A and B are shown apart, each in its own frame.
Chain A
Amino acid sequence: MNIAWKEMKKSKAKFMILGSIVFLVSLLTFMISGLANGLSQESAGLIKDLPAGQFYMTKEADQTYSMSRVDRRIQKQILSKEKDATAFSIQMGFLNDGDGKQQSVAFVTATSSKQFKNVEKGEIVLDKSMEDNGIKIGDALTNNQYKGKFVVKGFVKHSKYSHASVAYISMEDYKEIYGTDEMQLIFIPEGGTVPTFSGMGSFSNQQFLNTISSYKSEQMSLNMIIWFLVVISGMLFAIFFYMMNVQKIGLYGILKAIGVKTSSLFKIMWTQMVFITVIALSIAIFLSQIFTRVAPTGMPFSLTTETTVQLSIVFLMIGFIGATLSGLQIKSVQPLQAIQQGEV
C-alpha cells in the first residue's frame, strides 16, 4: 500500500507548503544560474565558444594576456609547426557610428583560422547585438586612432568579450590602431598531446578564463550565490522533514510495534521527498524555460539544458541527504515509547 501517497493526499496543505518552498528556491537558483551563465557569455563568450584547446602567452606577461607580446619569429615557428594554431589579440576600444555615437567594443584580430572571423583591411565584422543597436551591413564606422573607415561586412552571434561586442578587424588595421603587429595569444585546438614552447606559458580554456580577473571574480560571486541557495534548499528539506518526523514519532513507533520495517518508513519519507522535489523542479524548470524565451534581448540570461539537468540532480541529491539526515531519528524510535506516549 502506498502510505506515502495517502499521507500526501490527506495532508495536502503541509506538503504544498514544503513543495512551494522547494519550488521558489529552485526557481531562484535556476534564474541566478541563467544570469551567471548569461553574464559569463557577455564577459567571455568569445573564449567560451572556442573548442577545447591550449592558450599560449609569454611567461613575462605573468598570466595577464594584455601584457603578452608574442615575438613574431616564435609565432611564425609555432604556426608553421601547428597547422590549426591561430595567433590573436584582444583590445578594448571604441567605434563611432554615422551619428558620431560612440560604442564600446572589443577589437579582435587573428591570423587565418577557423575559430575567428577573418576580414580584409577596412572591413569589420561585428557581434549581432550591434545590429540590434541599429548598425547595418554597409555602414561606415570610425575609430579615433584609425584614419580610414570600417565598412560593416557582417554580424556574428554571441560574440562578446568583457561585456562589450566583439569587432573583428584585419591585422593591418589592428597595427594602425594599437601600433603593434605582435599578437598577444596563440590558440591551438586540442589534438592529443599538449605542445610546449620555450618562453610561453600554456593554459587550458578554463585556466585561461581564470586568468581574466574580472571574469573570475564575477563568476565566483554568482557561483557562491548558486551554491548558497543549493545548501539552503538542502537545509530546508532537512528542517521540514525533521519537523514532520518529530510530529510522527508516535505514529512511527506504533507502525514499528505492529511490525512495519524501519526501511519501509524511510521509503515513505524518500517517496514523499522525491515526489515533492520532482513536481517543484518541473514547475521551476518550466517557468525558467519560459523566461529564457521571453527575457528582454539585452538581458544577459542563458540557461542551458545541461545546467538545468545538473542543478536538478544536485537538488534531488541534496533533498535526499537532507531528508535522510533528518530521518535518522526514525531508526531510534522505540515502539514502547510511542505506546506509552498516548494517542498519535
Chain B
Amino acid sequence: MIFKIDNVKKSYKNGEVTEEILKGVNLILREGELTSLVGASGSGKSTLLTIAAGLQPASDGQIIFEGKNLTSMNAEQVRKIRAHQFGFVFQFAHLVPFLTVEEQLLLMLDVSESKLKIREQKKEVDKILKLVEMDHRKHAYPSSLSGGEKQRVAIARAIIHRPKVLFADEPTASLDSKRSKDVMTLISHLTKTLNIATLIVTHDEEMLSFADHIIKMSDGQILQKV
C-alpha cells in the first residue's frame, strides 16, 4: 500500500448553509493497480481526486502517502511531493502552448529536479515518447497535434519523472470512443509496466474494463467497491 485516503471529508460554506461534498471517504491505492472512481455528476469523485492529489485541502481526515500525512504538510512540502512523486492527466491535455512535445517533457524533468544530465534527459524523453507512440512528433507544437495526440503527450508528461502515483481526471472526456480506448490502454499499460498507483475519475462505463478496482461514489460517499 502506497497511498491511503483516511476518512476524508470536505464541506463548503454557501452563505448560511454548509454543503458536505465528501462525507468521510476511505480508499487505498496500490502500486501497479488502476483504481477507477465512478459516479454521477456531483457525487464528489473529482473533489476526492483533487484532495488526494494535494490540489485542495480536505476539511477533515488524512491523506497518507508513503507513511507521511499530506494534510499536515505546508504548501511547499505538498508542491514538492506533487512535482516529484505525483503525475497528472486532466480532462484536457493542458500542454504549454509555446513548448514542443520534447520540451513539455523536459520541463517536467526540470520541475521534478531530475538528476539526469541533459543528454540523458533527452534519451529518457525519447524512450517515453516511444512508449506513448509520439516519438515521431517530438518537435511539434501542441497547436499542430490532434486531441488524442495531445492527451498522449500529457500522459507522457505525467509519467516522465517516474511518479509513484498517477492522478487522471476524466482523461478521455474530450476524446472519441476509439481514442478513449487507446488512451485507457496506454494508462493501464503504464500503470503495470512502471508500477504506478493510478487513480482515475471517469464517467465512461466502457473504460471501467481497464480498472483493477472500481469505486462507485454517490452523494459524497463510497457506495460500492468492486
Q: Report A's interface with B, CB cutoff 8 A.
A: 1, 3, 6-7, 9-11, 250-251, 254-261, 334-336, 338-339, 342-344
Contact = CB atoms under 8 A, between A and B. Distances in A.
A259 B103 CA distance: 16
Interface in B47-64: 50, 55-56
A259 B84 contact: yes
A258 B97 CA distance: 16
B108 interface: yes
B89 to A, nearest CB: 11
B65 interface: no
Contacts of A259: 79-80, 82-84, 86, 111-112
Given A1-B103, A11-B98, A335-B55, A258 B93 contact: no
Contacts of A256: 79
B106 interface: yes
A329 B172 CA distance: 31
B144 to A, nearest CB: 12
A258 B88 contact: yes
Contact of A257 (B82, B98, B112): B82
B contact residues, range: 20 to 34
B110 A339 contact: no
Question: Which of A11, A250, A339 has the most chain B CB atoms closer than 10 A to its own CB?
Answer: A339
Contacts, number: 66
B88 A257 contact: yes
19 contacts: A1-B103, A1-B110, A6-B98, A250-B94, A251-B97, A255-B96, A257-B55, A258-B88, A258-B111, A259-B79, A259-B83, A259-B86, A260-B111, A334-B56, A335-B55, A336-B55, A338-B94, A339-B91, A343-B93
B210 interface: no
Contacts of A335: 55
A254 B111 CA distance: 12
A336 B50 contact: yes
Interface in B145-185: 157, 169
10 closest A-B pairs by CB: A259-B83, A10-B98, A343-B92, A254-B94, A259-B82, A7-B98, A1-B110, A259-B111, A336-B55, A335-B55
B194 interface: no
Nearest to B118: A1
Given A257-B88, A259-B79, A259-B82, A339 B107 contact: no
B151 to A, nearest CB: 11
A1 B106 CA distance: 8
A258 B83 contact: yes
Contacts of A251: 94, 96-97
Contacts of A3: 96, 98-99, 107
A18 to B, nearest CB: 16
A342 B92 contact: yes
B83 to A, nearest CB: 3
Interface of B: 50, 55-56, 79-80, 82-84, 86, 88, 90-94, 96-99, 103, 106-108, 110-112, 141, 157, 169
B169 to A, nearest CB: 7
Nearest to B85: A259
Contacts of B82: 257-259
Contact of B90 (A1, A6, A11, A339): A339
B161 to A, nearest CB: 9
Contacts of A334: 56
A3 B79 CA distance: 19
Nearest to B157: A258
A172 B23 CA distance: 105
A239 B82 CA distance: 33
A1 B94 contact: no
Contacts of A257: 55, 82, 88
Nearest to B86: A259
Contacts of B50: 336, 339
B58 to A, nearest CB: 13
Contacts of A255: 96
B103 to A, nearest CB: 7
Contacts of B107: 1, 3
A312 to B, nearest CB: 29
Contacts of B90: 254, 339
B111 A343 contact: no
Question: Which of A6, A251, A260, A343 has the most chain B CB atoms closer than 10 A to its own CB?
Answer: A343
A339 to B, nearest CB: 5
Nearest to B80: A259
A259 B88 CA distance: 10
A259 B106 CA distance: 14
Contacts of A10: 97-98, 141
Contacts of A338: 94
Contacts of A260: 83, 111
Nearest to A338: B94
B50 to A, nearest CB: 6
Contacts of B103: 1, 6
B85 to A, nearest CB: 9
Nearest to A253: B94
Contacts of B86: 259
A11 to B, nearest CB: 6
Given A258-B88, A259-B83, A343 B94 contact: yes
